[in-house]
């Protein structure tokens, strides 16, 4: 027992030599800088490999193979602004750091997933943890994705299921020491001091992956432009998800305590009020036990549940069941999964080892047999996220959780939502059925997953920003309507939801229908609106939902483009208008399909300014007024009717709303014609609910219009039914 110096120059170092079990390792001895190994793995997609990548990553756990043929069909990607072997990597005893050149004074960088708070990412430090809460502008979110795109026309994805720290052109390397060797001025205010940032555009984008000391794949995506890079990323991921047609309709989530009778009552009220709706969501109470989950129907609250689901189906409703993948001891899944789960419980339930193929299948098969085969069409995968810095939430297993498969708890936390989705999706695929679900966490390469993210963040601005940010990262976003401080705000939230990949009212807190009383406390207390007011509320909601249903065929076509070309159906303006610098900062408007620009009223407002990008003229969709690109419009109107613009020379098919989308539902369509020489528009016609479209049972219905000849419809493909009836063409006379 003695206390000795362990280093020469020991003015700094001492140490206890008490128990010399093993020699302290020299950290410098383990530093490696492996050479990049570059491979073009698809057209305009390169893999830059350093060392030996980890076993569990979004790529190794991916849903679908890259769509190599579709990648080849994209336009040429153009030159990258750096050579691929300029990307560097440094490996230490416990981590790995990737340095990507970013010497681009004029560029902007976007991406990193469902970030609720930051849009332009340069200068920021990201902490890409799956997270239920907002942590500054770090990008911690329900869908953090280590992928970014640059306005210089490329994208970079670092394939990791670790929690990366990313420094986005933020740090100043020592060799960039400033030439300013003069005395300088004394800065004394915090503002002055903290303004001293690295020169804009200098530096690198640096990914730090503590926890991964072995190696990593970096994927680089060419353009053209950011849109091209996003397309390549989505096609590399396997192509965008195609929803069932009913999935694009309204999803109405029931009160948490609703029982069988209440569910049927609300379902019928939706129909009797003529509010279109396709999906009813049941909250945790459908089960005998939650939280954690038994995943067994409660006979107490839902006696004869099969009868109920049949009855709802007759009314045209699909059922979506809430769940989380923490398995309660009373669940039939508990024993089979007990040894195939993590070594900590969450809410007293097992954490499923989805990285074990057997556990993955046990979980899925149970759902298939007990639920999907018994009338269930979708699931809401809740609580698959994390709150790394909050002690108040017990739905965390720690990063060091051990799983039998060998996946690290950290990796599982990042991938849990994705793997749960995949386990469920596999069951639908086996049955040749589509699904459209909800998930509170997703990771990279998620484009093919038909699950919509929702969020604990709820600011209107956050919701809008998530709408645009999702489009850079292969994510679907459901800005669910959950609460509002005023009826106008409610209507604006509904309007935003009506232009999202999924339109959802999450009314778990309202015992009575939304239109009878939107105020949470009053609804709970049974203080409902008088009948005339209810009817007025129902009418406004009906109209806003109706707008969604009018555009179902239009949106469905956009989703098929998402699958085959990787173009997100809802996306940031900057993707479509790369040559207009004025759109670079706009995160409050977005493209909906190819022709429409949506600029929702914020919060409870009824007016706003809308910038219309350069490169085309624009029409006000409702009023027909024409504007020059590059102009800013002062727009006012009714809350719940989002300002909607259409680019010149576009055709927009508008359907008569249906109460719900059945397998045989046909759509009556009027085609609105904007401009003199509209581009053709291609509708996609299929059964809308199986995967037969992937095997040829799909028509492309091309709409063409010219002033001389009027409208023309060309139908081509192997689907035998005409679901789209093009009834009329409506040229919009510019005002």
CB of 645 to a copy of itself, least distance (A): 34
Only one of the segments 34-42, 535-543, 601-609, 653-661 lies at the binding site for a copy of itself (rule: CB under 8 A); that segment is 34-42
Q: Does 83 bind a copy of itself (CB under 8 A)?
A: no
Among 446, 459, 438, residue whose Cα is nearest residue 502: 438
Q: Which residue in 86, 214, 649, 702 binds a copy of itself (CB under 8 A)?
A: 214
Cα–Cα distance for residue pair 104/153, rounded to 1 Å = 12
Q: Is 676 in the site for a copy of itself (CB under 8 A)?
A: no
The residue range among 22-30, 463-471, 574-582, 717-725 that interacts with a copy of itself, by the rule CB under 8 A, is 22-30
CB distance 263 to 507 below 8 Å: no
Q: How far apart are CA 247 and CA 281, in angstroms?
A: 12
For position 406 contacting a copy of itself by CB under 8 A, the verdict is yes
Among 72, 93, 485, 712, binds a copy of itself (CB under 8 A): 93
Positive or negative CA dihedral for 211, 213, 214, 216?
Answer: positive
| 97 binding a copy of itself? (CB under 8 A) | yes
User: H/E/C letters for each residue in 183-198?
Assistant: CCCCCCCHHHHHCCCC
| C-beta of residue 401 within 8 angstroms of C-beta of residue 409 | yes
Q: With CB under 8 A as the contact rule, which of the stretches 245-253, 390-398, 446-454, 532-540 interacts with a copy of itself?
A: 390-398
DSSP 212-249: --SEEEEEEE--SHHHHHHHHHHHHHT------GGGGS
Stretch that binds a copy of itself, among 346-354, 488-496, 618-626, 647-655 (CB under 8 A): 346-354
Nearer to a copy of itself, 13 or 721 (CB): 13
The 98-137 site mask, x for binding a copy of itself (CB under 8 A), equals -------------------------xxx-x-------xxx
To 5 degrees, how large is the angle CA 451–CA 597–CA 436? 15
Q: Specify burial of residue 291 (Cβ count, 10 A radius: 0-12, 13-18, 19+).
A: middle
Query: Does residue 6 interact with a copy of itself by CB under 8 A?
Result: yes
Q: Is 336 in the site for a copy of itself (CB under 8 A)?
A: no
Contact call for residue 643 and a copy of itself (CB under 8 A): no
Nearer to a copy of itself, 46 or 556 (CB): 46
Q: Which is nearer to a copy of itself, 512 or 608 (CB)?
A: 512
CB atoms within 10 A of CB 300: 10
Stretch that binds a copy of itself, among 100-108, 288-296, 515-523, 581-589 (CB under 8 A): 288-296
Tell me: does residue 399 bind a copy of itself (CB under 8 A).
yes
Q: Is 60 in the site for a copy of itself (CB under 8 A)?
A: yes
Smaller CB separation from a copy of itself, 75 or 398:
398
Q: What is the C-alpha separation between 31 and 363, in angstroms, rounded?
A: 41
Among 152, 170, 380, 608, binds a copy of itself (CB under 8 A): 170
We find the least distance from the C-beta atom of residue 195 to a copy of itself, in angstroms, to be 9
Q: Residue 338 corresponds to which tokens in the numbers above? A: 């007990």
Least distance to a copy of itself from the beta carbon of 36, Å? 9
Mask: binding to a copy of itself, 187-206, rule CB under 8 A, as x and -? xx----xx-xx--------x
Q: Which two tokens stand for residue 175?
A: 């060799």
Q: Is 728 in the site for a copy of itself (CB under 8 A)?
A: no
Secondary structure E strands in 587-664 = 590-592, 596-598, 607-611, 618-620, 626-627, 632-636, 644-647, 650-655
385 binds a copy of itself, rule: CB under 8 A: no
Contact 622, 641 (CB under 8 A): yes
Q: How far does CA 595 lie from the centroid of its chain?
A: 21
Residue from 88, 142, 167, 380 in contact with a copy of itself (CB under 8 A): 167
Task: Tell the smallest beta-carbon distance from residue 405 to a copy of itself (Å).
Answer: 8
Residue 10, interface with a copy of itself (CB under 8 A)?
Answer: yes
Q: Which stretch binds a copy of itself (CB under 8 A): 62-70, 542-550, 681-689, 720-728?
A: 62-70
| Alpha-carbon distances, residue 53 vs 48, 50, 281 (angstroms) | 11, 7, 40
> Which position among 39, 432, 527, 727 is part of the footprint of a copy of itself (CB under 8 A)?
39
Q: How far is CA 675 from the centre of its chain?
A: 33
**Contact status, residue 376 vs residue 280, Cβ threshold 8 Å:** no
d(CA 489, CA 602): 8
Give the x/- contact pattern for a copy of itself in 298-327, rule: CB under 8 A. Answer: x--x--------------------------
- Radius of gyration for the chain, computed over Cα atoms and rounded to the nearest angstrom: 27
Q: Which of 141, 212, 467, 616 touches a copy of itself (CB under 8 A)? A: 212
465 makes contact with a copy of itself (CB under 8 A): no
């Amino acid at each position: 027992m003695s206390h000795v110096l362990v280093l020469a120059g020991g003015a700094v170092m001492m140490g206890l030599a008490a128990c010399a079990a093993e020699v302290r390792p020299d950290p410098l001895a383990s530093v490696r800088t492996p050479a990049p190994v570059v491979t073009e793995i698809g057209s305009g997609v390169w893999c830059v490999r350093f060392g030996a990548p980890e076993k569990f990553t979004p790529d190794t756990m991916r849903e679908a193979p890259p769509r190599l043929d579709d990648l080849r069909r994209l336009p040429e990607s153009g030159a990258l602004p750096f050579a691929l072997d300029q990307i560097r990597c440094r490996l230490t005893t416990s981590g790995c750091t990737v340095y990507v050149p970013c010497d681009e004074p004029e560029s902007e960088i976007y991406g990193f997933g469902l970030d609720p708070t930051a849009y332009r990412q340069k200068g920021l430090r990201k902490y890409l943890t799956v997270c239920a809460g907002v942590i500054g502008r770090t990008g911690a979110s329900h869908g953090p994705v280590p992928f970014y795109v640059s306005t210089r026309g490329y994208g970079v994805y670092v394939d990791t299921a670790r929690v990366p720290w990313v420094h986005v052109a933020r740090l100043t390397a020592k060799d960039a020491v400033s030439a300013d060797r003069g005395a300088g001025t004394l800065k004394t205010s915090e503002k002055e001091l903290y303004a001293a940032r690295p020169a804009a555009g200098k530096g690198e984008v640096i990914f730090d992956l503590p926890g991964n000391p072995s190696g990593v794949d970096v994927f680089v995506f060419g353009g053209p432009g950011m849109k091209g890079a996003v397309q390549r990323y989505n096609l590399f991921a396997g192509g965008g998800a195609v929803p069932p047609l009913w999935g694009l309709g309204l999803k109405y989530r029931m009160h948490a305590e609703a029982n069988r009778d209440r569910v049927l009552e609300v379902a019928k009220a939706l129909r009797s009020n003529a509010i279109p709706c396709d999906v009813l969501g049941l909250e945790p109470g459908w089960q005998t036990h939650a939280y954690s989950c038994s995943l067994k129907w409660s006979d107490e609250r839902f006696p004869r549940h099969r009868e109920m689901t049949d009855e709802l189906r007759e009314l045209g409703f699909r059922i979506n069941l809430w769940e989380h993948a923490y398995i309660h001891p009373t669940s039939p899944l508990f024993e089979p999964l007990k040894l195939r789960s993590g070594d900590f419980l969450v809410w007293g339930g097992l954490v499923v080892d989805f990285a074990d193929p057997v556990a993955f299948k046990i979980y899925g098969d149970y759902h298939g047999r007990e639920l999907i085969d018994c009338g269930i069409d979708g699931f809401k995968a809740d609580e698959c996220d994390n709150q790394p810095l909050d002690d108040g939430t017990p739905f965390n297993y720690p990063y060091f959780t051990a799983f039998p498969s060998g996946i690290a708890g950290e990796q599982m936390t990042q991938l849990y939502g994705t793997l749960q989705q995949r386990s469920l999706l596999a069951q639908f695929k086996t049955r040749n059925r589509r699904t459209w679900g909800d998930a509170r966490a997703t990771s990279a390469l998620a484009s093919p997953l038909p699950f919509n993210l929702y969020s604990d963040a709820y600011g209107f601005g956050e919701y809008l920003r998530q709408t645009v940010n999702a489009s850079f990262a292969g994510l679907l976003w459901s800005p669910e309507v959950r609460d509002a401080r005023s009826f106008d705000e409610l209507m604006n939230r509904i309007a935003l939801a009506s232009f999202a990949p999924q339109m959802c009212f999450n009314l778990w807190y309202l015992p009575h229908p939304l239109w009878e009383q939107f105020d949470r406390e009053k609804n709970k207390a049974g203080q409902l609106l008088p009948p005339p007011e209810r009817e007025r509320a129902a009418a406004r909601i009906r109209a806003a939902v109706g707008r969604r249903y009018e555009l179902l065929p239009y949106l469905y076509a956009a989703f098929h483009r998402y699958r085959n070309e990787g173009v997100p159906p809802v996306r940031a303006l900057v993707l479509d208008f790369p040559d207009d610098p004025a759109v670079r900062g706009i995160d409050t408007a977005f493209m909906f399909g190819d022709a429409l620009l949506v600029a929702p009223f914020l919060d409870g407002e009824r007016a706003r300014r809308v910038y219309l990008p350069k490169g085309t003229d624009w029409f006000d969709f409702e009023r027909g007024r024409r504007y020059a690109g590059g102009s800013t419009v002062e727009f006012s109107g009714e809350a719940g009717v989002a300002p909607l613009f259409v680019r010149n020379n576009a055709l927009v098919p508008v359907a008569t709303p249906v109460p719900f989308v059945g397998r045989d539902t046909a759509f009556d369509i009027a085609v609105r014609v904007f401009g003199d020489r509209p581009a053709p528009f291609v509708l996609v016609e299929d059964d809308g609910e199986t995967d037969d479209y992937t095997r040829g049972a799909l028509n492309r219905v091309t709409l063409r219009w010219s002033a001389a000849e009027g409208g023309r419809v060309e139908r081509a493909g192997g689907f035998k039914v005409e679901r789209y009836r093009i009834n009329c063409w409506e040229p919009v006379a510019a005002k």
